[in-house]
Amino acid sequence: MIADALTAERIGLTWLRAAVAPAGAFGRRHDDATPVYGPGDVARAHAEIADVVALAERLERDGVARLRAALRAVPEATPVVARARAGDALNDVDFYELGRLVDALAALAGAWDAAGGESHRRPPVLDALRAVLAPGRDGAGFYLADAFAPGLRAARAALADAEAAADVRREAIAVRVRDAIGIDPVGDEFVVLRDVYDGPLPEGVRVVRETPTYRTAAIGVLAPERDAALARVSEEEETARRALAERVARETDVVGAATRALGALDRMLARVAFTQRWGGCIPSLRGDRIAFCDATFAPLADVLAARGRRYTALSLDLRGVAVLTGPNMGGKSAALATTGFLCACAALGVPPPARTASLALLDAVIWIGGDGPEDRARLLSSYAAEVVRARDTLDAASPSVLVLVDEFARTTGPREGRALLVAFIEALRERSAFALVATHFDGVAESACAHHVRIAGVRDGALDALDAGDLETALDAINAAMDYRIVDARDGGATSDALALARLLGLDGRVVLRAQALHDGEK
Amino acid sequence: MTAAARSVVVVGTAKNAGKTTTFNALRAVAARRGVAIAVTSIGRDGEPADALDAEPKPRVRLAPGTIVALPAGLVPRSPALAILDAGGASALGTTVFARVVLPTTCEIAGPPTARAMRATIERLRGLSTGPVFVDGAIDRVAALAGGGDAVIVATGAASGATIARVAAVAADTVARLMLPGRDPQREHARVIVVAGALDARDAEELLADARDATVVVEDPTRIAIRGALFAKLRAAVDLRCERPLRVVACTTSPVGRETALSPRALVEAVARATGLPTFDVVADLAA
């Protein structure tokens, strides 16, 4: 489903993508590689949404949060696995990271069980890889343990003995230095001032640097046994790493499959968490209508909840083109956005937050109204931006395109604007596109022979008793007085309530009264 | 080295002032006493030769039991270290926390940012029962300001040709690093907060206009003035910082590239000038 930046922002698609973003890197990769559902993907989209709804009902909400935290903690082991598969040498940090992967998957599986997940869908665990790494694991860490190569223990014991012998020799030289020069060499290097001591240095001490006034000396322990032991340890450790890497390589297919499964699980759990937060239904995806009952435009509901304001769930049955009218601040734009948002949910395999829904998997959603960043970059005026969008929309319009029109041509002369809107709706109808057209122009639906719905609007007399206060108080009052439901326009005419709202929003009362008089005179 | 300062940072007044020698001496003393330690570095250390002047540098040899933080790219392949943890990034890869099993010699480098350095020290504290030693850098010690770490200043003939000069540089450095923290009870009514570095121009303005004020910088390393100007400013205003450092001692190195100073006279002069316990860890002197 294509949606440009303006549309994605207006219909909450950008918000939705963030809301269902996977927790971990595997999920993000999986998500990036999963195409958005289009008109030919009804069965797959339906199956995914049904799966999400079932899991949202089955899993505990806290458990899902814990599962997502566990997913977030799964380390990115893909580069190590790829190198192991290619036969590259691995190092101890690589083995440590694989150990972390094993632990993280075990923790994830535990979280799945605790959340009440079904056993046949349990996330994968890597027991074979755990067994491979086990000799080197003590808790969460990793050490290339003696058990990884038959000669390692003996080589290390020999090195420890050689180191101890070298230390004894070093200490003997240090004693000679103390006796001859009176200096206690704490480290291997020390300084001998010539005016303190300018004689021959004790055996085992070499000069690192010489100046007219001092010598820098170092205790040099010749320890060929230690060097040989070190070389042998190095050789044995590399042998152990090669053998271990080969065993890891044999597990890479299993690890790859596990990480892919993690990606799918992460995507699924992101949708489950969303559904548990916002509710969601399994929609019909027949594509012949866009209808929903008690739907929530989650991005707006989220903002309203944060401000303590109520959100009214919306219902609509859109078959082809409909014109939406209603008062200012009545939620016409929100109704448009809700329609696009629910279709976007279906396209992303997310249960639409509604009691019931019948939706279409679309090729594109197009928002016309106002100007977006691309329009501003092209230095288009608001009107020009809308017209250019309308032009492009007619090129793209089809039965699998949803056009959301928000007060098209409001910035031009009302008579010409209205005429242009009617003609545009007719053109959309000819192309059998879905369209919901919000406008304040009168009689558009009748002229374009389109279905007419309206926002129910301010409850009778609800604004009359209210006084203008500060803006927040006024907005709260309007929110309480407004009936945001979408109803059939045949059930009664709507007014814009523009003057009452202007008064409540604090416009000078004399101005409002004068406007009211002018309006009444025109009537 | 006290329980109250479980991390000790060594910084130098100049290159080759004996910083790494002091760092190694601390480690050697800990090893002699059987104290398990943790180590890391601000910046890269342990290379065979100094990156700028190709002078030989002391190698960092780590005893068994030592916990070390270093980038993944510098983890020695042999003898193997026990990898305990990994996290955070540096230019040389993920920071790895490891325990030395068999004696090893390696390069140590720390993370690139102040926050990551702080986190690295805290993680080392969590992994080690003993003190954390940090081979520091004076221009990056700001990372540690406000953290309660003990700072040791290494100074020596590399920073001056005479004992008087070395002592003066040490006193100047220590005075800056020991800038006191803010004290609301003792602040003047007028408080001037200097954002960023306090440079010579700022100092001139403050001397002209702020003699009755408390002047606050973020941390001691923001003081970009030296010598007489710094001393004059400090005498004239109540100069403080938000995040103080705790300098506990100095060490001296009597040898420079072409000069050698009297070790005992140098230790005594630096101790007098800074008012701090001062040690020559090579000549085993204290004042």
pLDDT recorded at residue B90: 60
A374 shares its domain with A475: yes
Query: Which of A17 and B243 is assigned the larger pLDDT?
Result: A17
Q: Same domain for A62 and A114? A: yes
In a domain, A234, yes or no: no
**Does the residue A331 lie in any domain?**
yes
A180 and A252 both lie in a single domain: no
In a shared domain, residues A432 and A478 = yes
Q: For the segment B60-115, what is each residue's pLDDT rounded down to a tens digit?
A: 788 899 999 988 888 999 999 999 999 866 655 688 999 999 999 888 887 777 77
A499 touches chain B (CB under 8 A): no
Going across the sheet that includes A401-406, the strands are A364-368, A401-406, A434-438, A321-325, A451-458, A482-488
Residue A87 lies in domain: 20-147+243-275
Q: B227-236 and B163-177 are packed helices; what angle lies between their axes, rounded to 10 degrees?
A: 40
Element (H, E) at A406: strand A401-406
Lowest mean pLDDT among A67-81, A418-432, B43-57, B225-239: B43-57
Q: Is the Cβ pair B94, A211 closer than 8 Å?
A: no
- Domain containing residue A57: CATH number: 1.10.1420.10
Please report whether residue A500 resides in a domain.
no
Per-residue pLDDT, A73: 87
Does residue A335 have a pLDDT over 90?
yes
Of residues A96, A156, A190, nearest to B83 (C-beta): A96
Residue B44 sits in the same domain as residue B167: yes
Same domain, A295 and A438: yes
A294 lies in the same domain as A260:
no
Residues B275 and B160 in one domain: yes
Q: Is residue A4 part of a domain?
A: no
For B83, the closest of A141, A213, A234 (CB atoms) is A141
- The CATH code of the domain that includes B266 is 3.40.50
Same domain? A206 vs A301 = no
Is the domain of B226 the same as that of B137?
A: no
B50: pLDDT strictly greater than 50? no
Amino acid identity of residue B273, one-letter, is A
What is the span of the domain harbouring residue B107? Answer: 7-172+245-286
Query: Is residue B1 included in any domain, yes or no?
Result: no
Within a domain: B110: yes
Residues A363-387 have pLDDT tens digits of 999 999 877 777 766 767 778 888 8
Q: How far apart are CA A75 and CA A1, in angstroms?
A: 32
Residues 6 or more apart in contact with residue B245 via CB below 8 angstroms: B141, B144, B145, B149, B151, B177, B178, B179, B219, B220
Identify the pLDDT of residue A105.
Answer: 94
Q: Are residues A123 and A270 in the same domain?
A: yes
pLDDT digits (tens, 9 = 90+) for B192-218: 999 988 999 999 999 888 778 899 998
CATH number of domain containing A355: 3.40.50.300
| Claim to verify: residue A383 and residue A488 sit in the same structural domain | yes
Q: Are residues B148 and B185 in the same domain?
A: no
Q: Identify whether residues B217 and B112 lie together within a single domain.
A: no
Considering the domain architecture, whether residues B154 and B193 belong to the same structural domain is answered as: no
- Is the same domain home to B109 and B215? no
**HSE (CB half, 13 Å, CA atoms) of A479?**
15
Name the residue of chain B whose CA is nearest to A73's CA.
Answer: B87
A187 domain residue, yes or no: yes
Does residue B78 lie within any of the structural domains?
A: yes
B23 and B111 part of one domain = yes
**Structural contact between residues A132 and A244, judged by C-beta atoms closer than 8 angstroms:** yes
Residue A56: inside a domain, yes or no? Answer: yes
Residue A230 within a domain: no
- Co-location of A329 and A419 in the same domain: yes
In chain B, whose CA is at the least distance from the CA of A95? B83
Question: Residue A128 in contact with residue A254, Cβ under 8 Å?
Answer: yes
**Test the A interface: residue of B83, B99, B257 with most A CBs within 10 Å:** B83
Contact B102 A159 (CB under 8 A): yes
Q: Using 50, 70 and 90 to split pLDDT, how confident is the model at A493? A: low
Q: What is the ipTM, given to two decimal places?
A: 0.81
Q: B126 and B187 share a domain?
A: no
**Number of separate domains in chain A:** 3
Inter-chain residue contact B28 with A187, CB threshold 8 Å: yes
Q: Domains in chain B: how many in total? A: 2
Which residues in B lie closer than 8 A to residue A189 (C-beta atoms)?
21, 58, 282
Which tokens in the block code for residue A225? Answer: 């046994």
d(CA A193, CA B256): 12
Spatial distance between the Cα atoms of B168 and A369, rounded to a whole number of angstroms: 72
Residues A91 and A209 in one domain: no
**Residue of B19, B266, B281, B282 to mutate when probing chain A, most A C-beta within 10 A:** B282
Kindly report the nearest CA distance between residue B59 and chain A, in angstroms.
9
In a shared domain, residues A136 and A182: no
B46 pLDDT band, cuts 50/70/90, is very low
Residue A64 maps to a domain: yes
Q: Which residue has the higher pLDDT, B51 or A88?
A: A88
